[in-house]
Amino acid sequence: MKALHPTQAKLLEILKNNITDPLTMEELADRLNVGSKSVIFHHIKQLEKKGFLKRNPANPRDYMILKDPERNVVYLKMYGMAKCGPAGTILDGTPTRVVPVDPNMVYFPVGKGFMVEAKGDSMEHLISPKDWLIVETNHLPKNKDVVVCVNNGEVLVKRFNNDGKNVILLSENPAYAPIVADPATFHVEGIVRSIIKRSV
């Protein structure tokens, strides 16, 4: 791991502490007592090159902390499972929180990760309400993968099955009937890779 310049270490700490309410370049410069936004931009680019930070190219204030040198954790954004529009994605929404996670639970590139909190009992006994799901952004699941998906605007956690004609969304709980996905609105947000059990 490449060493951090003292200014980069301070900048990373400020970014980490404000991840749910990101600061502008001007605010970052003010916090670091730096006169130029270009200096801040330079250090942010260095943090990206060194693997500590990933930014959304479409929105510079949307970023992920990939490494925390003090705590040895990674930070994943958690999104709600609110209803989406016809072409909506839950990742367009505002994260409900940012969760520090043991890196050993994320065995894919951290920049592809996000989390959701499970709702309902359709996936019991595998997944219970309020469990936290670590999800890899991946739009090409294999049969039997558990996915976070959107169907007719509804965000679901289901087991994926493509029979060659239709995508069938299966529940673990036998009380729930299979759902035939609507090809016009269905899309997969990601594949569930880890489950953090939170039920009492």
Helix (H) or strand (E) holding 97: strand 97-101
Q: Are 128 and 172 in contact (CB under 8 A)?
A: no
What span, in angstroms and rounded, lies between the C-alpha atoms of 195 and 105? Answer: 9
For residue 90, give the DSSP letter.
Answer: G
Proportion of the chain above pLDDT 70, given as a percent: 90
Which two tokens mark 114? 């996000």
Lowest mean pLDDT: which of 35-44, 104-113, 132-141?
104-113
**What is the pLDDT, as a whole number, of residue 161?**
97
Give which of 184, 180, 196 is closest to 87, Cα–Cα.
Answer: 184
By DSSP bridging, strand 97-101 and strand 146-151 are unpaired
What b/e string do you get for 62-75 counting C-beta neighbours within 10 Å, with b at 16 or more?
Answer: bbbbbbbeeeebbb
pLDDT band at 64, cuts 50/70/90?
confident
Q: Smallest Cα–Cα separation from 42: which of 1, 5, 68?
A: 5
Q: pLDDT tens for residues 26-43?
A: 899 999 998 888 999 899
Which range among 34-43, 86-95, 98-107, 188-197 shows the weakest confidence by mean pLDDT? 86-95
Closest CA to 183 of 169, 194, 199: 169
Q: Check if the beta carbon of residue 52 is closer than 8 Å to that of residue 15.
A: no
> Which residue is listed with tokens 């499970």?
118
pLDDT tens profile 171-186:
999 999 999 999 998 9
Q: Residue ranges of the alpha helices (H) in the chain?
A: 6-17, 25-31, 37-49
Asked whether the beta carbons of 150 and 89 are under 8 A apart, the reply is yes
Q: What percent of the chain has pLDDT over 90?
A: 42
Q: What does residue 140 show for φ and ψ, rounded to 5 degrees?
A: -125, 70
Q: Is the confidence at residue 136, as pLDDT, over 90?
A: yes
- Answer whether residue 2 shows pLDDT above 70: no
Q: Considering the entire predicted model, what is its pTM?
A: 0.72
Q: CA separation (Å) from 154 to 21, 88, 137? A: 27, 10, 18
Q: What is the pLDDT of residue 149?
A: 93
In this prediction, residues 48-69 reach a mean pLDDT of 79
Q: What is the mean pLDDT of the chain?
A: 86
- The reported pLDDT for the residue numbered 186 is 93
Helices (H) and strands (E) in the chain, counts: 3, 11
pLDDT, tens digit, for every residue of 71-81?
A: 677 889 888 87
User: Which is it for strands 53-56 and 154-162: parallel, antiparallel or unpaired?
Assistant: unpaired
